[in-house]
Structure 1
Amino acid sequence: MSKRLENKVAIITGATSGIGYATAILFAKEGAEVVLAGRRENLGNELVDKIKSQGGKAVFVKTDATKLDDLKHLVKTAADLHGRIDILVNNAGVLTAFNFTEMDEVKDFDTTFNLNVKSYFLLCKEVLPYMVEQRSGSIVNTASIGGIIGIPHCPAYSASKGAIVMFTKSLAGEYAKAGIRVNAILPGLTNSEMVPVGSDFEKEAIVGVPIGRAAAPEEIAAGTLFLASDESSFCVGTCLVVDGGATSVDRVC
C-alpha cells in the first residue's frame, strides 16, 4: 500500500512541540520528506533523530517565524535540498490570554499578530512561487475554533485566528486555478505546551466539549494530513473543524 505523502516535500513550522510535532512524525511516516522549522534547535534536532530512527527523512532549520530573513532561509533550504516544495503547514503560533482593558499593545497584541498572522502571510509569499511553477501544491494553515466562535479573555488570539480563516479562503480562491489548494485546520481544545494535561485552563474548557476531553495533538495532525494529501483534492478554502463537538452545541444551555 502506497503512503499518502510518498516523495512529497513538506515544510512544517512550529514543529518542535504539540500539533506541529505530531504532524511532523505523521507526515514522515506517510512518506514525506519533512523540513521542520522552529526556534528551539535542540528539540528540533531530537525530532529529526526520532524521525530518522523510524525510517523517515527530515531536516531541521532553526527559524524565528516572525523574521522574514529566517523564513526566506527556510524556504531556500527546502528548495535547495529537494528541488521542489509540495506542502506547507503554517503551524507556528502563540496563545495569549488577558483581561481586555489590561492588554499590553506590544506584548499581547503585536506579538500575537506577528506570529499568528503576519508569519503565515510572509511564508506563503515565499513558498507560492515554487508551487506556481510546479502547477501544484497544498497549503494548510492552522487556525482555531477561536477564530469562528471567539474565546473570552483571548481577544487577540481569537482575532488572529479569525484572520487566518479569511486569509485561507482568499488565498484559496486566488490560486486554485494554478493547481494549488489552500485550506485550514481549526482545532478545538488540544493538549500541548499551551494547554497542559490537567491544567486549570483545560479543566475549565472541557466543560464546553461534548466528547468530554481535549484532543491529542495526533488527532489534529490526522486532519492536517487529510488536507495536505491528495485525498482532499476537492477541498479548496475548506476550514476543517476538529473540536470534539465544541462548536456544534449551544454552550449557554
Structure 2
Amino acid sequence: MAGFSGKTVLVTGSGAGIGRATALKFAAEGANLVVSDIHVPGGEETVAMIHSAGGKAMFQHADVSRLADVAALVAGAVDQYGQLDCAVNNAGIEGKIAPLADQAEDNFDAIMRINAKGTYLCLQAEIRHMLQAGGGTIVNLASVAGLIGFPGLSPYVASKHAVIGMTKNAALEYGKAGIRVNAVCPGGIDTRMLDSLAEQATSGAQSSSQMMDPLHPLGRIGTPEEVANLIVWLSSSEASYMLGAIVPVDGGYVAQ
C-alpha cells in the first residue's frame, strides 16, 4: 500500500473500536494523526498507543454535532501539522432498539444529530479546507444499515442512509476538485456498539458474537482492524479511481 508518510489524517470517534483501529493503521503507515472523540480518556489512550509505537498523534476533544467543535477540530489539525490530507468521519451512536411506532423522539434526535448532522458538519469543514489545499480524501462510516432495513433500529437506519446520500452528493460535487469521498458499510463488527445492541436485543442472554456470528455467511463477525484496512486503502493512492463508492465490509451479510 502507498504510504502516508508526512500526511495528516483526522479520525473522529477514534477513542475505541473502528476509529481507534483506523488511527493505529494510519499511524503505522507513517501518517500524522489527529485523534478526536467526545470521550477524552479513550482518545488520549489511542494517542498513547500511537506514541508508544513510535508514531505521531495529537488528541482534540470534539462533539461532532456542534459546529464550533468541528470548526476547531479541523483548524487544530491544520495548526498542528500544516495541512489535512485525509479524514475519516467515524463518530456515531446506535441508540435504543424499539419498533418505529414506539421510538422516543429524543432517541431519534440524538442519533440523527450525531450520525447525520455530525457527518454533514465534518464534511463541510473538511471539504472547505481541502478545496483550498487542492484535494484530499474522505471516508464516511455508514453501515449495512444504510443499505437495508433492520427492525427495531429505524432512527439508526435512517441516519446511515443519510450518510450514504451525503457521500454520493459530496463525491459528485467535489470529485473534479481532487477530493475523493467514499463510504464503507460495516456489518457486525466486534465493538462496544455491537455489544450494546446484543445486550438490548437479548437482555444479556447472548454475547454479540453468539447473536451475530450465525447471521453472517462468513460465519463470524468482523474485527475493527478488518474495517480499518479498507478505510486506509480507500484513502490511499491505490484507490485513486474510487469516488462515491459505497463499499460493504460485512462478511457477506448484504449478499443474502
Greater fraction helix: 2
Residue in structure 1 matched with residue 12 of structure 2 by the alignment: 13
Structure 1 SS opposite 2:242: coil
Letter in 2 for 1:131: M
1:189 is the counterpart of 2:188: yes
Structure 2 SS opposite 1:207: helix
Residue in structure 2 matched with residue 143 of structure 1 by the alignment: 142
Residues 8 and 32, structure 2, Cα contact 8 Å, conserved in 1: yes
1:203, distance to aligned residue in structure 2 (A): 2.7
Q: Distance in 1 between matches of 2:42 and 2:147?
A: 32
Residue in structure 1 matched with residue 240 of structure 2 by the alignment: 233
Moved >6 Å (runs of 4+): none
Residue in structure 2 matched with residue 56 of structure 1 by the alignment: 55
| Aligned residue-pair number | 247
1:159 is the counterpart of 2:158: yes
1:101 is the counterpart of 2:101: yes
1:99, distance to aligned residue in structure 2 (A): 2.2
Which structure 1 segments of 5+ residues have no match?
none
Residue in structure 2 matched with residue 23 of structure 1 by the alignment: 22
1:219 is the counterpart of 2:226: yes
Residue in structure 2 matched with residue 172 of structure 1 by the alignment: 171
1:246 is the counterpart of 2:256: no
Q: Distance in 1 between matches of 2:64 and 2:184?
A: 19
Residues 183 and 236, structure 1, Cα contact 8 Å, conserved in 2: yes
TM-score (norm 1): 0.94
1:206, distance to aligned residue in structure 2 (A): 2.6
Which structure 2 segments of 5+ residues have no match?
199-204
Letter in 1 for 2:145: G
Structure 2 SS opposite 1:195: helix
Percentage identity across paired residues of the two chains: 38
Letter in 1 for 2:139: V
Q: Distance in 2 between matches of 1:166 and 1:195?
A: 24
